[in-house]
Copies of this chain bind each other. A is one copy, B any other.
């Protein structure tokens, strides 16, 4: 390490500490401890400050997202356009430097992080996408896709189960271009990691198929860069570089848990500068650092033009491939019309998971960049893409991904794939097990990533497997999560619409499918599931007496109740509400046409928690829902004992009608 490098690392440390100090909020500990490894990496990594979106850049994920001040300081000194003022506005309203890294806010941020372990799994997704896209497009030494993926994580990430899941998959998939730097400082918030974390992390990763390299001195930039070199040279295993550091290095709180999550104080920052022998005005860098970095940045900026040469040659030789490649890496949503042309719904009586499987396969034929898989339930989820091969170390072009029983890593890996670009990605499990992966789904939602979640075995329709396998509250849980569209289709037509919405829109979509067969009903040609809620069956009266609102598998029994009410002279309407979020986006006029405010006699029918239905049935309506756990029995028995019968719905509707007369 030369003096200029050392000075630059001091600059990064001091900037991060000043940033946290000014905001009076943030995490200086990791920034001070991990600055040398971060600098060492960023100096040797392939990236292009003048164009942060240059496609073939190495990806860098700060899995320990609380180290955001380190990342912003790096972005500042590496010329990404994060200014002094940005650093001074750290954690303030609408600044470019929020508390944890957010993709929409800051150039050079590859993924939003903060919840621990997610970033490592995102990085596995980046590396998977890179390997798959490279296998698909690289030809004759013209490697238009050829980059590494790096993650920086701390002890917290290493303790989370999602890290173990993701590491196990990365090892199985032999993702040789994935490199994780582990800031190992023996400290977490409650004190020394010895109280809760004595495992041998190196040995665990070796067991999970990784190359593991140790750097004993986290201040030794040359040793860190040498380790990165060894990691890059290993093509058949992901690499973990364990770097031993001191949390809060250089500050009065060095080596203590107190350094983790609170500002150092003005005096602490002064002491830090003194200890580092670093002299600059607040939020400034020294002339030496500026000059050194100008050279480094110039060098880094060349990487794009080198890639452009390869692209040019590729384009000349393979113009059609290039066109497809270029279209796919832009991750542009498909047009709804094209998608509708690709799918052929059926009116055959079947389970919506089967409709889903059929449509997914039709779409896989039409969209060569559609990939995905299940958490070891593909045969039940019906998500196998027929004839599309299995992704793995031996065939990177396979489009079926086997995630094993690892829901949480699965979803977070899909986030990484979606962020990387090049693929439209889906994943799947039993609906109840969204509870294992909720935080990763939330990250899809926060980042507005177009990940398609195929969630089968909905509600008590699961039957014999019992309450642990019967989702009751999961619909409400996902509907309350901003930015996710939740579809619960009642037939093949609605299932097709759910896929069209998922692949033509922004943000994540959950498609909730039944295990059991659904009844089929003819609907009018105007009926448009993409409105989210629409009139499924109606009376002759302009304003109905009673409105039955149902979704998914409960449309069947609701239609029977409707018919019985009709026969009794009641003007009933059935509204199918496959996607509340889309319904809410319609005009007030449209919503009024479906659910006239004047009609207070309303009944919601859904085999899930009633908690979300108050907004539609109000104080005068009623719900036929599941507000307790189910039990183990054949599904038809369960629908019967929990009141999802024609008789009960008619009874509830009649009661509501009377009360509202």
Chain A interface (Cβ < 8 Å from any Cβ of B): 23, 25-26, 65, 91-95, 98-100, 102, 112-117, 155-157, 159-165, 168-169, 171-172, 188-191, 193, 195-204, 206-209, 261, 374, 376-380, 390, 392, 402-406, 408-409, 432-433, 435-436, 438-439, 442-443, 445-446, 463-469, 472-473, 476-477, 479-483, 597, 600, 609-620, 627-629, 631-634, 637-638, 641
Given contacts A402-B190, A465-B100, A614-B613, contact A409 B376 (CB under 8 A): no
**A627 nearest in chain B by CB position:** B482
Given contacts A161-B164, A405-B160, A634-B92, contact A189 B377 (CB under 8 A): yes
Chain B contacts for A612, CB-based, 8 A: 476, 480, 611-612, 614
Q: How far is the CB of A182 from chain B (nearest CB, A)?
A: 14
Return the contact of A482 from the options B188, B404, B628 (Cβ within 8 A): B628
Q: Which of A113, A376, A446 has the most CB of B within 10 A?
A: A376
Chain B contacts for A631, CB-based, 8 A: 93-94, 98
Cβ-closest 4 pairs across A and B: A161-B161, A614-B614, A614-B615, A196-B404
Known pairs A91-B633, A189-B379; list 9 more (Cβ under 8 Å): A93-B634, A155-B405, A157-B405, A160-B436, A161-B163, A161-B408, A189-B378, A436-B439, A476-B476
Contact (Cβ within 8 A) B190 A374: yes
**A93 nearest in chain B by CB position:** B633
User: In whole angstroms, what is the CA distance A374 to B390 when docked?
Assistant: 41
Contact (Cβ within 8 A) B100 A468: yes
Given contacts A161-B160, A597-B619, contact A189 B376 (CB under 8 A): yes
Given contacts A464-B23, A614-B618, A629-B482, contact A200 B190 (CB under 8 A): no
**A112 nearest in chain B by CB position:** B468
Chain B contacts for A465, CB-based, 8 A: 99-100, 114
**A161 nearest in chain B by CB position:** B161
User: In whole angstroms, what is the CA distance A115 to B102 when docked?
Assistant: 33
Chain B contacts for A114, CB-based, 8 A: 465-466, 468-469
Q: Which of A157, A201, A408 has the most CB of B within 10 A?
A: A408
**A609 nearest in chain B by CB position:** B480
Return the contact of A165 from the options B161, B198, B629 (Cβ within 8 A): B161
Return the contact of A376 from the options B98, B163, B196, B206 (Cβ within 8 A): B196
